[in-house]
Structure 1
Amino acid sequence: MELHDVWFVLIAVLWIGYFFLEGFDFGVGILTKLLARDRPERRVLINTIGPVWDGNEVWLLTAGGATFAAFPEWYATLFSGFYLPLLVILLCLIVRGVAFEYRAKRPEEHWQRNWETAIFWTSLIPAFLWGVAFANIVRGVKIDQHFEYVGTVGDLLNPYALLGGLVTLTLFTFHGAVFTALKTVGDIRARARKLALRVGLVTAVVALVFLLWTQIDHGDGKSLVAMVVAVAALVAALAANQTGREGWSFALSGVTIVAAVAMLFLSLFPDVMPSSLNADWSLTVTNASSSPYTLKIMTWCAVIATPIVLLYQSWTYWVFSKRIGTQHIAPEAGH
């Protein structure tokens, strides 16, 4: 296996890790409006992800940086062609981070309510747009012979991509619901399980349609295996949720995300951005990659740094692993 193939796999792993972790993160943000009935319950939801949301975003930064260094042509075409949706995602992530930090800086009802509303929308919008972006990458976009995107924003809003956005939105919401059930106690835990069932059933329908569409148009034997794993894991997650086994339900919903994203990358390889105008103009792992020397240096850096990051993040989740409920929220507390 060549180094550019290795880095395609590593970038896929980074995106899988990001969607696994930020997926429930976004889902919990969405649930602040769908599940929480009052401010104490919204504070419970926010506190479940408070210690980890910023660490989850490290995976996105690393994935972006790795793409820039390993596949500069891919990075340039992607960020120029998808400029507007990626800018919206970036602004949402900025506002979302500010909302987490500032919502408790003042005690006024309207101040905290406005920041909580910001958390909801800045979780929902990226959850949808990431699906739109990746569906377009797999489907192919208008890239000319100079490897430049020549389409419009409207071209990105096609039925396949919109369905992809709906899949990530519902899947992340389901992932967040089972995470909430895993991390909370009392009435909010029971309601999270009920909501997870309803959202999960909707997710199963739209995900099955999207994955079948992907398999028919772009898939092969390997992607078919990933699709079967994704569907089976989602069904098993719903079953585990119904029996009150929140840990298994969360793990299986995570497997669903891992397998579904892996299917997209398997369907994509060896392309990194297919051209819908001419297959010969597609960006591939070969023509979009950096020099072998650059990839070699990056590989050694990854070997040294990755275990440290994984250990630190695992330790963070371990430290903040206890369940919480409204009884743990002091009336005067801001967080």
Structure 2
Amino acid sequence: MELHTLWFVVIAVLWVGYFFLEGFDFGIGVLTGTLARDRAERRVLINTIGPVWDGNEVWLLTAAGATFAAFPDWYATLFSGFYLPLLLILVCLIVRGVAFEYRAKRPEERWQRRWEHAIFWSSLTVSVLWGVLFANMVRGVPIDAQGEFVGDLGDLLSPYALLGGAVSLALFTLHGALFAALKTVGEIRERARRLAGRLGWGGGALTLGFLGWTLAEAENGRGVPALVVAVLALLGALAANARKREGWAFLSSGVLVVAVVALWFLTLFPQLMPSSLDPAWSLTAAESASSPYTLRIMTWCAAFATPVVLLYQGWTYWVFRKRIGTHHLAPAAHGADTRSPA
């Protein structure tokens, strides 16, 4: 395997890991404004992701850094052409992180409620924007012969891209609902499972329709196995959820997210960003890659660092694996500490 192909695969894996992990993070954020009925239940939902949400964002930073180092032309065109949505994503991620940390700093209900609104709206906005961004990247945007984006914001809001945003929101909310069912006890767990069942049928149909549209317009059939995996994962999640097997249901929804992202990258390769003006102007992995020396250095660094990161994150999830409920909350606590109760 050539080094530029290897690094395309590595970057795809980083995005898969990011959406698998941050997907349920964003879903939990959306559920704080839809599933939770009171202040205590919002605290419980926030505490389910308290120990892990910031660690999950490492995958995004690594994916962006790897793109910059391995494919500088791709990075430049992507971040200039998608400047506004990426800026909005960055702002939402900052607001969301501040909200997690600041919500419990003061006891006033109004103060905490405002930060809860910030968590909900920032999570919802980011969930939609990631789908819009990746849908545009896969389908193609106006890129000229110099590899520069020459469109405007309206070019990023096609029906296909908007459907991609709706699909990512539905997927992340489903993933979050199944995570909530896995990590909570009591009434909130039951409601999360019922909501996941409804989201599975509605969001699943939307997702499969979107994937079918993607494959219908693709120039290759490499994404077909991923579509099959997505269908099986969706059915598995629904079946496990109906049988109250939350662990298997969450794992299946994770496989569904992985299959959707994998289909995007399988359909895309060997291109990085197709040009809607002229296919000859599309960015390709071979033409946009850094020098072989740079890629070799990156490969050695990744081989050393990746196992360390995986072991650390795996240990974190193991330590905070227990379920929590409203009865675990300290009565004197002001709000959602961003760490799960011991």
Question: TM-score scaled by structure 2?
Answer: 0.97
Question: Equivalents in 2 of 1:319, 1:222: separation in Å?
Answer: 39
Match of 1:242 in 2: 242
Question: Equivalents in 2 of 1:90, 1:146: separation in Å?
Answer: 27
Aligned residues: 335
> Are 2:19 and 2:257, in contact at CA under 8 Å, matched by a contact in 1?
yes
Given the alignment of the two structures, is residue 140 of structure 1 paired with residue 135 of structure 2, yes or no? no
Please list, as runs of the form range in 1=range in 2, the aligned pairs for 1:34-45 lying within 5 A after superposition.
Answer: 34-45=34-45
Distance 1:219 1:187, change over 3 A: farther
Question: Equivalents in 2 of 1:135, 1:235: separation in Å?
Answer: 24
Match of 1:120 in 2: 120
Question: Equivalents in 2 of 1:295, 1:153: separation in Å?
Answer: 33
Match of 1:326 in 2: 326
> Are 2:215 and 2:221, in contact at CA under 8 Å, matched by a contact in 1?
no
Question: Equivalents in 2 of 1:38, 1:136: separation in Å?
Answer: 38
Given the alignment of the two structures, is residue 109 of structure 1 paired with residue 112 of structure 2, yes or no? no
Question: Equivalents in 2 of 1:59, 1:259: separation in Å?
Answer: 18
Q: What is the CA deviation profile of residues 205-227 of structure 1, one whole-angstrom value per residue up to 9, with x for unaligned ones?
A: 11011000001101633310101
Superposed displacement of residue 98, structure 1:
0.2
Paired AA for residue 30 in structure 2: I
Given the alignment of the two structures, is residue 308 of structure 1 paired with residue 312 of structure 2, yes or no? no
Superposed displacement of residue 236, structure 1:
1.1
What percent of counterpart residues are identical?
Answer: 71
Question: Equivalents in 1 of 2:202, 2:271: separation in Å?
Answer: 31
Displaced runs of 4+ in structure 1, greater than 4 A? Answer: none
Match of 1:188 in 2: 188
Match of 1:6 in 2: 6
Question: Equivalents in 2 of 1:201, 1:90: separation in Å?
Answer: 31
Match of 1:153 in 2: 153
Given the alignment of the two structures, is residue 78 of structure 1 paired with residue 78 of structure 2, yes or no? yes
Question: Equivalents in 2 of 1:156, 1:202: separation in Å?
Answer: 25
Question: Equivalents in 1 of 2:160, 2:100: separation in Å?
Answer: 33
Paired AA for residue 272 in structure 1: L
Given the alignment of the two structures, is residue 97 of structure 1 paired with residue 97 of structure 2, yes or no? yes
Paired AA for residue 126 in structure 1: V
SS in 2 for 1:272: strand
> Are 2:36 and 2:42, in contact at CA under 8 Å, matched by a contact in 1?
yes
Superposed displacement of residue 204, structure 1:
1.0
SS in 1 for 2:272: strand
Match of 2:198 in 1: 198
Given the alignment of the two structures, is residue 276 of structure 1 paired with residue 279 of structure 2, yes or no? no
Given the alignment of the two structures, is residue 59 of structure 1 paired with residue 59 of structure 2, yes or no? yes
Superposed displacement of residue 112, structure 1:
0.2
Superposed displacement of residue 330, structure 1:
1.3
Question: Equivalents in 2 of 1:39, 1:293: separation in Å?
Answer: 54
Q: What is the CA deviation profile of residues 142-175 of structure 1, one whole-angstrom value per residue up to 9, with x for unaligned ones?
A: 0000000000011000000100110000000000
Question: Equivalents in 1 of 2:33, 2:234: separation in Å?
Answer: 24
Q: What is the CA deviation profile of residues 58-94 of structure 1, one whole-angstrom value per residue up to 9, with x for unaligned ones?
A: 0000000000000000000000000000000000000
Distance 1:219 1:205, change over 3 A: farther
Please list, as runs of the form range in 1=range in 2, the aligned pairs for 1:208-219 lying within 5 A after superposition.
Answer: 208-218=208-218
Aligned-pair Cα RMSD in Å? 0.7
Q: What is the CA deviation profile of residues 207-266 of structure 1, one whole-angstrom value per residue up to 9, with x for unaligned ones?
A: 011000001101633310101101210111011101100000000000001111000000
Q: What is the CA deviation profile of residues 124-157 of structure 1, one whole-angstrom value per residue up to 9, with x for unaligned ones?
A: 0010000000000010000000000000011000
Match of 1:20 in 2: 20
